[in-house]
């Protein structure tokens, strides 16, 4: 899917979400790409740092 929360569609990144059966549960795999669309290296680094924490906060809700 395209991913551009709070940004114009031209800067959209790509999310690929896959669910894998694993034992009695499910493993979720997310591939987040298209970082170069954010522009310069400083902006990309800032976004990467934010998503490192952000995805954890989002995904922990699914575990519960």
- pLDDT computed for residue 29 by the predictor: 92
10-residue mean pLDDT series, the chain (64 residues): 84 92 92 90 90 84 79
- pLDDT computed for residue 18 by the predictor: 95
Whole-model pTM over 0.85: no
- pLDDT computed for residue 8 by the predictor: 83
- pLDDT computed for residue 58 by the predictor: 83
- pLDDT computed for residue 39 by the predictor: 87
CB-CB neighbours of 44 under 10 Å? 14
**Measured CA distances, 53 to 9, 24, 27, 47, 56 (Å):** 23, 27, 19, 10, 5
CB-CB neighbours of 13 under 10 Å? 19
CB-CB neighbours of 60 under 10 Å? 9
């Amino acid at each position: 899917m395209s991913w551009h929360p709070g940004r114009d569609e031209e800067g959209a990144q790509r999310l690929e979400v896959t669910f894998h059966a694993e034992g009695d549960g499910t493993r979720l795999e997310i591939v987040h790409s298209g970082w170069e669309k954010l522009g310069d290296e400083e902006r990309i680094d800032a976004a990467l740092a934010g998503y490192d924490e952000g995805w954890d906060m989002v995904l922990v809700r699914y575990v519960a």
